[in-house]
Structure 1
Amino acid sequence: MSSSSAPHLFILTGASRGMGLAMAEQLLEPGHALLCISRGISEALPTRADAAGAQLTQWSADLTEGAAVSARLEEWLAAYGPNHFASASLINNAGVIPTIGPLREADAKDLAFALRVGLEAPMQLSAAFLRATRGWHVPRKVLNISSGLGRRAMASQAGYCAAKAGMDHFTRCLALDEAQDANGAKVCSLAPGVIDTDMQRQLRGANAEAFPDRGNFERLKSAGQLSSPEEAARRVLAWLQRPDFGAEPVADVRDA
């Protein structure tokens, strides 16, 4: 396949709802190949892909089984030659908020679920992606969707804050790794701002006694300070296309 006709590959986790679904919809453009990895499969995306002339693959996968999913990804990527795609980008978007409350009241399985989806799977998928594409002499990027809560502690949010802080720091390490490789990928852990998604509704609906910051999230909603998933997706994907993507391994779209 010639470079002029080669599609740009995007691999996106958590594409079934919220900002992830909005990103998937916006990535369905001519000349794009999109692999969505989510627990659920969208029935609407194939129609959109056909209309846009984009290539779409969807996997129903449980990201708590990150080792198996990353092995499947590595095998899938290895089936393509180094010149099949014009570029390759992995977007680790999936994440969950465990039950909101003090850590002393946390359920061990609930914490494990959040950390496996929000931290362990992104590390495993990143490793598989970078290993499988290392010989591809095309632009390669890893975009990790982080959060301001990875950089600011909040009561009753230890699991989510820890996952996002870990994501930020493993991205810093990954940037150092890739800088040592002549064919290294560009990487960034990006906070997308405050978005009106199911997670926000979960925070606003939490028990006020268990979650002292609930009022702050209620005020963000009432003051109209939440981005729509569509607008947040546009800003995140614009960041991915910046010529200086990866210059700062930890960033925030509000710093644009």
Structure 2
Amino acid sequence: MTVATSFHLFILTGASRGMGHAMAGQLLQPGHTVLTLSRRIPGGLAAKAQAAGAELVQWSVDLADDHNQNHSASAHLHGWLDDIAPQRFASATLINNAGVIPPLMPLRDADSADLMQALRVGLQAPMLLTAAFLSGTRHWTGQRKVLNISSGLGRRAMASQSAYCAAKAGLDHFTRCLALDEAAQPNGAKVCALAPGVIDTDMQTHLRSADAAHFPDQAAFGQLKTNGQLAHPDDAARVVLAWLARPDFGDPPVADVRTPRA
């Protein structure tokens, strides 16, 4: 049986706002099936999917609970993928976009629950979901991709950002390891951890409104807004999805949209 050439699956976390919501909207095209995972169901996507002739599936999940086997998004995803015929989609893509910035303060003052949530959402959940995705699509015949939304802060240290920086650094390195795993497999997945640049989202609002006494870089983030250096979420989503569509996606496995490519 041949693979359907016009049907594509996209699985996206953190689709309720910001760039994630913009990506979800832009992925709603004829022949696309889009599965979103977020704590609240994103508004407006159902009507957009109907108008576009796309299939939309929305799960309300808390990725911080993915370690709990009774509420495991990754186990649910694996089971959901197992029920899909291996030839149904020409491609399947997992986009790990969700992330959490805990209260901005030095590690010595941080609350343990905030630290655990940031690491679970930003690193543990992407690893568990990626494992479920790759296992659940192991025998699929279409192209498979994993796009991990990283950050420049995974590659540059910043005071009062230990958990977020550590999660993104871990995301980058787990992607490098994953690329080695998949390169050795028949029809292995193409994988990339991509920094999307600075985007005008709630995260930026959180950073520039922080207490400068606890967050020394607060003024620098304020200047990004003042100087018009923040990308609109819709524009950032287009750039990221264009990168996903590149024929050389995954080479290199850790990249930045601000780095010129040939």
Q: Normalising by the residue count of structure 1, what TM-score does the alignment of the two structures yield?
A: 0.98
The yes-or-no answer on 1:142 pairing with 2:146 is: yes
Report SS of the residue matched to 2:34: strand
The yes-or-no answer on 1:174 pairing with 2:178 is: yes
The yes-or-no answer on 1:121 pairing with 2:125 is: yes
Offset at residue 187 of structure 1 (A)? 0.2
CA contact (8 A) 2:3 2:142 kept: no
**For residues 25 and 117 of structure 2, what CA distance do their matches in structure 1 show?**
27
Offset at residue 7 of structure 1 (A)? 1.4
CA contact (8 A) 1:83 1:136 kept: yes
Offset at residue 42 of structure 1 (A)? 2.1
| Partner in structure 2 of residue 246 of structure 1 | 250
The yes-or-no answer on 1:22 pairing with 2:22 is: yes
**For residues 194 and 78 of structure 2, what CA distance do their matches in structure 1 show?**
24
Note the 1:69-218 alignment, pairs <5 A: 69-218=73-222
| Partner in structure 1 of residue 59 of structure 2 | 59
CA contact (8 A) 2:4 2:89 kept: no
Report SS of the residue matched to 1:251: strand
| Partner in structure 1 of residue 36 of structure 2 | 36
CA contact (8 A) 2:16 2:43 kept: no
**For residues 41 and 245 of structure 2, what CA distance do their matches in structure 1 show?**
26
Mind listing any 5+ residue stretches in structure 2 that lack a counterpart?
none
% identical aligned pairs: 66
Offset at residue 198 of structure 1 (A)? 0.2
Report SS of the residue matched to 1:129: helix
**For residues 118 and 90 of structure 2, what CA distance do their matches in structure 1 show?**
34
Offset at residue 110 of structure 1 (A)? 0.4
Offset at residue 43 of structure 1 (A)? 3.3
| Partner in structure 1 of residue 241 of structure 2 | 237
**For residues 247 and 221 of structure 1, what CA distance do their matches in structure 2 show?**
32
Per-residue CA distance 1:2-61 (angstroms, 9 max, x = gap) = 644651000000000000000000000111100000001023111000000000000000
RMSD: 1.1
Mind listing any 5+ residue stretches in structure 1 that lack a counterpart?
none
Offset at residue 106 of structure 1 (A)? 0.4
CA contact (8 A) 1:88 1:138 kept: yes
Report SS of the residue matched to 1:254: coil
Report SS of the residue matched to 2:66: helix
Per-residue CA distance 1:158-196 (angstroms, 9 max, x = gap) = 010000000000000000110111221000000000000
CA contact (8 A) 1:6 1:84 kept: no
Q: Which amino acid aligns with 1:17?
A: R
Residue-pair matches, total: 256
**For residues 43 and 103 of structure 1, what CA distance do their matches in structure 2 show?**
35
Report SS of the residue matched to 1:56: strand
**For residues 250 and 136 of structure 1, what CA distance do their matches in structure 2 show?**
25
**For residues 162 and 121 of structure 2, what CA distance do their matches in structure 1 show?**
15
Q: Normalising by the residue count of structure 2, what TM-score does the alignment of the two structures yield?
A: 0.96
**For residues 43 and 205 of structure 1, what CA distance do their matches in structure 2 show?**
26
CA contact (8 A) 1:204 1:218 kept: yes
**For residues 4 and 151 of structure 2, what CA distance do their matches in structure 1 show?**
36
Q: Which amino acid aligns with 1:69?
A: A
